[in-house]
Amino acid sequence: MTGHGDPSGLAPLFVALGALFLSGLVADALGQRTSLPRVTLLLGIGIVAGGSGLDLIPAAAREAYSFLSVTALSLVAFLLGGPLKRETLAAHGRSILLISLAIVVVTVLGVGAGLWALGLAPGVALVLGAIATATDPAAATDAINQSGAKGGFVDTLRGIVAIDDAWGMLTFALAVVAAKALAGAAGGEMLLEAAWEIGGALALGLALGLPGAVLTGRLKPGEPSLTEALGLVFLAAGLSLWLEVSFLLTAMTAGAAIVNLARHHERAFHEIEHVQWPFMILFFVLAGASLEIGKLLALGALGAGYVALRIAARLAGGWAGGWLAGASARDRALYGPALLPQAGVAVGMALVAAQEFPEAADTLLTLTIGTTVLFELIGPAVTVWAARRARDEG
């Protein structure tokens, strides 16, 4: 077939997608037989296949990364509403709140102050400290699931992962306002934008989640359909982008509303779990493919300092929050390491910051993207280790 509309031009895209899905099967099989998390394996495959490696991924597949990232992270955020059940919050709510707040505060202050000491302008250092608070909910959740661990530590950890990015986004919005104030600009407008992004997302999530809790599962009694679940998630993502509010907070709020208010079934999230992994495969492989090794190496002392500061801040924040929450000495030492993964949310924050501070755009984007992939490579393995350590010693 030739002429206008010739589908043969799509051949490289379909071949690439097929190869990426099969690479997910390989990563899944290796992850079950080794201690390596599937997420880490997928990122490694992406680095090898991407521009810094063999350059095998066609442009059409790379151009789909924006759509895939929003889709994958929306699915993950919707699932993260699941741990925010009333029963879980009643049992672990105080620990979730104290530990997540402690980690965010220690991270933004510790990383920000450390980067300032390394020579960055105070405003840029503060913004990077706020970006460092972001945790990758997709990688952390997948690593927790892969660990097979159960119990109070894992329940609390899931709750922290669910709420951590909400605190992180609020902190980032305030940090941008503070950085603009340090630069002599008025921050009132930015504060209003931050309030709209967060408050609007919560309101939209409730507007979708409340009727969703009533309607989902009615077509097949006790068994929500895949179409219903995907419809809610895509509607949440699309409306969030249109209204310029956080799609992560919207999807998470909708999921939390459904899991707490739906009374006619107990399987609100199972259908999403069935389709989540294929999107995650593409998301993580393409994330690895986007890394430019040369730029990462060019960061030098600044990149190494950021990585060391973020690790130290997570460890200190997890310990401090665990101490405030009355957690055991074992758990205090494990919360910080379990929250090292960092991905899409941090990159999104860096893109926003680059627009607000164009003079520091190269530093913000290169540092965040490079170290994010590094944390995605090492973070999930540490999360699996921490969850299994808690299980084995518990």
Query: Per the domain annotation, does 205 fall within a domain?
Result: yes
Query: Per the domain annotation, does 338 fall within a domain?
Result: yes
pLDDT at 98 over 70: yes
- The residue with tokens 């759509």 is 67
Query: Per the domain annotation, does 26 fall within a domain?
Result: no
Query: Per the domain annotation, does 8 fall within a domain?
Result: no
- The pTM (predicted TM-score) of the whole model is 0.69
Q: Which of 9 and 280 is assigned the larger pLDDT? A: 280
Q: For residues 253 and 81, is the Cβ–Cβ distance under 8 A? A: yes
Mean pLDDT of 255-269: 68
Query: Per the domain annotation, does 137 fall within a domain?
Result: yes
Residue 218 binned pLDDT confidence (cut-offs 50, 70, 90): low
Q: What is the CATH number of the domain that holds 185?
A: 1.20.1530.20
Range of the domain at 346: 76-278+297-393
Query: Per the domain annotation, does 290 fall within a domain?
Result: no
Query: Per the domain annotation, does 337 fall within a domain?
Result: yes
Residue 7 burial (CB count, 10 A): 8
> How many structural domains are present in the chain?
1
Q: pLDDT tens for residues 321-371?
A: 889 888 788 888 888 888 888 866 777 677 777 777 888 777 787 788 778
The dihedral region occupied by 379, where left means phi > 0, alpha psi between -120 and 50, and beta the remainder, is: alpha
The amino acid at residue 153 is F
Task: Count how many residues are written for the chain.
Answer: 394
Write down the mean pLDDT value for the chain.
Answer: 77
Task: Tell me the two tokens of residue 223.
Answer: 């068994």
Residue 287 binned pLDDT confidence (cut-offs 50, 70, 90): confident
Check residue 185 and report its DSSP letter. -
**C-alpha to C-alpha distance for 100 and 183, rounded to whole angstroms:** 29
Find the DSSP H helices in 216-292: 226-243, 247-261, 270-289
pLDDT at 88 over 90: no
Query: Per the domain annotation, does 97 fall within a domain?
Result: yes
Residues in CB range of 386: below 8 A, 6 or more apart:
334, 335, 337, 338
Check residue 292 and report its DSSP letter. -
